[in-house]
Amino acid sequence: MASGFRIGSPMRRVEDPRFLRGVGRYVDDLGVAGAVHMHVLRSPHASARIEGMDVAAARRAPGVVLVLTATELDVPGVLRCVTPRHRRDGRALVSPEWRVLPSDAVRHVGDAVAVVFAESLAAARDAAELIEVAYVPLPSVTDVAEAAAGAEVWPGEAPGNECFHFRLGDADAVGAAFAKAAHVTRLAFRISRLTAAPMEPRNLVASYDPVDERYTLTTGTQLPHVMRNEIAEHALGVASNRLRVISPDVGGGFGMKESPFPEHVCALVAARMLGRPVRWAATRSESFLSDSHARDNASVGELALNAAGDFLAMRVRTAANLGAYLAWQGPVSSTNNVGGLAGVYRTPHICTEVTGYFTNTQPTAPYRGAGRPEAIFAMERLIDLAADEMGLDRIELRARNMIRPEEMPFRTGLDYTYDSGDFPKNMALALAAADWDGFATRRSEAAARGMLRGIGIANAIESAGGPHRKPLEEAAEIRFDSGGSMTLLLGSHNHGQGHETVFGQIAATHLGIPPERIRILFGDTDVVAHGRGTIGSRSMMAAGGALVGASLKVIARGKTIAAHLLEASEADIEFEDGVFRVAGTDRGFGIEAVARQSYIPGALPDGAELGLGASLVNRPGDATFPNGCHIAEVEIDPETGACALLRYTVVDDVGTVINPMLVKGQIHGGIAQGIGQVFGEAIRYEDGQLISGSFMDYAMPRADDLCAFKVLSNPVPTKTNALGVKGAGEAGTVGALPAGIGAVVDALRPLGIRHIAMPATPETIWRAIQEARA
């Protein structure tokens, strides 16, 4: 085994050399002979009735081989939502039919209307401009507050625009606690709308084999097996084994790439009709118009306290923007993680209500954090405001109400039971690392330069790998070939996390295999039997746990084979560091030698099963609860509103740390995306039109917008899975939103500013300062 290549070692990613050399295999890197190019004609209207469409000129255009409209689709062509939610009267949520190509109306700018296939992309684009669509524009609504006021996207199907109404918690107990409270803090806030903007836009290659009557879809997706089942059975109307999904290297997903999209279905249908492969890649502008969006809700939160500052109760009411259609897991972000409202505190009573509304916008879907940042934002901002209003120190107020490690397992006031964690230690370590006590000096120095300096803190916790109490299964398979080398087949997919490295470390630790003899395969539904994929910070707990379980089965099988080869009792065989040996002796076989022998008929008893390998479809015992403390420090120029992030400190508990270097990378990426939302990123509409449809208008964070991040670890392993790991992929984002806004507000507090909306752009901050001075 390569020295140090095991659990706990800070190994560099083994997949990076191919990316750094430019030899990664992304969809657009795949050469496909004879492929036609696809271009989608999209609606320029947020809401309009389609009264006619003339595609004759497009069909006659040079190079065009096919034009598809809703009329030509001979498949069900429907994308469905799988998240169960209910209306106020108990009926299932309103789920209007999302057809891949609408025939009667369009319901958001960018809605697919027709698809052109041609010998070149330029020819397809030119032909699409020849299509004449007779639109009758209709009133539209893009803002969730306006949607809640009654404007209807689906008249007759969704009265009052409501999709579902979700309630969790004991409203009566919360009401009683509020009635006896000495102080109530209230905050109305918005969580801005985002787009995922991965480095690699959505793309695909679709083909059809008329002999086997099978489709193949090569596309960057987080959930190959799930996408196969959804597209095959519900959009194409065929058995799942009639569709193969291949997902090679993927340049970022962030939740957006978990869902099926209309382009997948249109390309597969065209590949069958034409007998030729079809390829498509979204432009960046097209991505803004056709990818699912995220977040976007309006909330009112309240926190009740007694005179000493003890939390008595909390309640939050949220209006969530779902878009015009329901994405595959559209309601998940606004409802599945509301238990996070409890934070790391002993608030005895909490209730929340979430109402989902339709708007004339793109569907919203999970995005890094998927509801956890919103929940922690509510609690942490309310704590800051309560401390300010009651004249209490915000650190002492948090410490007074914080769950202590000796209280674990702890049943919170809303849904969750935390199994492990040391929240006070997280905060103590973060305060020391951020030099919280020295902040007053730094603020005074900034003031002498005419600058406003602020510091923000947030204690974050999230449910990862859920759903809570019912986590989903994951698969792992270990195959040894007759040469003794090992192949891991995983249902979890790598799209930037470093899975090839960490799963290799797990296998090397448990089976003693040198990393150069480990091959890892994922992302192909014909090769990997089953998988749930990579979402919700679940890979290490679910797939990692499955790999550990499969390893134990391999070891047990190997002991049987080794006992026969060594002419010893199976009970006397030990396994350590990749070697099976007779206890107390030096007689043994390495696992690779055992694997080679397992394929030799004469080496094993007559009738014995040959080969060495094992598979396991495993479900973890429960979701995990990664937690931490984030501290951000900013400086604002009051004359321009420009805000600089100067310091960022985070202490995280992600349980057992498989690879410290990769965990830090995950935390860094999460913080960057959270800070992006705090200071710049926002999808905006005006009169139904998307006005932030490029990177000229949608302010992605750049390197000089960030500072060096100080990341510390406070691991408290969980007992809910074999590795003791907790999720790490979304932890950075969960804490970044409240810490960042908290720092901005702290800088502006001397001006009497209590809160500021995201994104806190220079203009937003400057206007707030002018209003405060006036």
In a domain, 351, yes or no: no
Q: How far is CA 337 from CA 330, 356, 615, 628, 665, in A?
A: 13, 15, 31, 17, 24
CB 758 within 8 A of CB 398: no
Residue with structure tokens 């598979």? 615
Q: Quick check: 334 and 297 in contact, CB under 8 A? A: yes
Dump strand ranges (E) for 502-626.
518-521, 573-576, 579-582, 588-590, 613-618
Mapped to the 3 state alphabet, what secondary structure does 222-261 carry? Answer: CCHHHHHHHHHHHHHCCCHHHEEEECCCCCCCCCHHHCCC
Span 623-651, average pLDDT: 97
Compute the average pLDDT of residues 652-673: 96
Mean pLDDT, rounded, for 619-623: 88
Residue 154 domain flag: no
Picking from 368, 16, 361, 21, the residue whose alpha carbon sits closest to that of residue 197 is 368
678 occurs within a structural domain: no
Contacts of 507 (CB under 8 A, 6+ apart): 478, 486, 488, 513, 518, 547, 551
Question: 3-class DSSP state for residue 370?
Answer: coil
State which of 618, 636, 654 marks the end of a domain. Answer: 618
Query: Is 620's pLDDT higher than 90?
Result: no
Angle made by CA atoms 112, 118, 119, in degrees to the nearest 5? 150
Over residues 678-690, mean pLDDT: 97
According to DSSP, the β-strands at 278-281 and 36-42 are parallel
Distances (CA, A) of 347 to 352, 634, 695: 14, 30, 42
How confident is the model over 74-103, as pLDDT tens digits?
999 999 999 999 999 999 999 999 999 999
Tell me the average pLDDT of the chain. Answer: 95
- Measured CA to CA, the distance from residue 115 to residue 41 in angstroms comes to 6
From 258, 290, 322, the end of a domain falls on: 290
State phi, psi for 438 to the nearest 5 degrees: -90, 0
Count of domains observed in the chain? 2
Q: What is the mean pLDDT of residues 359-373?
A: 95
3-state DSSP assignment of residue 479? strand
What is the DSSP annotation of 415-450? S-EE----HHHHHHHHHHHTTGGGHHHHHHHHHHTT
Report if residue 255 sits inside a domain.
Answer: yes
Strand intervals (E) in 36-90: 36-42, 48-54, 64-68, 78-79
Find the CATH number of the domain harbouring 38. Answer: 3.90.1170.50
Write down the pLDDT at residue 3. Answer: 55
The mean per-residue pLDDT over the stretch 414-422 comes to 96
- Residue 613 sits in a domain whose CATH number is 3.30.365.10
Q: Domain for residue 462, yes or no?
A: no
For 88, which DSSP code? Answer: T
Give, in order, the Cα–Cα distances in Å from 233 to each of 103, 308, 531.
Answer: 22, 58, 17
In sequence order, which residues have a C-beta less than 8 Å from that of residue 654 and are 6 or more positions away?
A: 626, 663, 713, 715, 725, 726, 727, 728, 731
Please answer whether residues 629 and 426 qualify as being in contact, where contact means their C-beta atoms are separated by less than 8 angstroms.
yes
Residue 1 has what pLDDT? 43
* Structural domain contains residue 347: no
| pLDDT computed for residue 466 by the predictor | 79
Compute how many other C-beta atoms are within 10 angstroms of the C-beta atom of residue 71: 11
Q: How far apart are alpha carbons 759 and 763 in whole angstroms?
A: 10
Which distant-in-sequence residues (6+ apart) come within 8 Å of 70 by Cβ? 77, 99, 101, 102, 103
Residues 680, 759 contacting (CB under 8 angstroms): yes
| 556 falls within a domain | yes
Task: Give me the pLDDT at residue 177, please.
Answer: 98
Contacts of 169 (CB under 8 A, 6+ apart): 315, 349, 350, 351, 352, 413, 414, 415
Residue-number span of the structural domain to which 53 is assigned:
32-138+197-290
How far apart are the two ends of the chain, measured CA to CA in Å?
69
What is the per-residue pLDDT across 734-773, written as a single tens digit (0 to 9) for each?
999 999 999 999 999 999 999 999 999 999 999 999 999 9
pLDDT band at 605 (very low <50, low <70, confident <90, very high): confident
Q: By mean pLDDT, which of 233-242, 551-560, 616-625 is the weakest?
A: 616-625
Model-level pTM?
Answer: 0.95
Residues 6+ apart with CB under 8 A from 705: 645, 675, 679, 680
* pLDDT score of 2 more than 50: no
pLDDT at residue number 470: 80
Using alpha carbons, select from 405, 454, 395, 397 the residue that is nearest to residue 428: 395
Tell me the three state secondary structure of residue 386: helix
pLDDT category, 429, cuts 50, 70, 90? very high
| Helix axes 372-390 and 731-748, enclosed angle (nearest 10) | 30
Q: What is the mean pLDDT of residues 580-599?
A: 95
- Asked whether the beta carbons of 451 and 638 are under 8 A apart, the reply is yes
Q: Are 165 and 91 in contact (CB under 8 A)?
A: no
Residue positions counted in the chain: 774
Helices assigned H by DSSP within 540-630: 545-565, 591-597
Rounded CA separation 31/29 (Å): 6
Residue 431 is encoded by which pair of tokens? 């305060």
Q: Tens digits of per-residue pLDDT, 129-169? A: 999 999 999 999 999 999 998 788 999 899 889 999 999 99
CA-based nearest residue to 742, from 386, 402, 297, 343: 386
Which among 407, 413, 386 has a CA at the least distance from the CA of 313? 413
Is 344 a member of any domain? no
Question: Across residues 221-234, what is the average pLDDT?
Answer: 96
pLDDT digits (tens, 9 = 90+) for 508-537: 999 999 888 899 999 999 999 999 999 889
Examine the fold and report which residue of 586, 618, 650 is the final residue of a domain before the chain moves on: 618
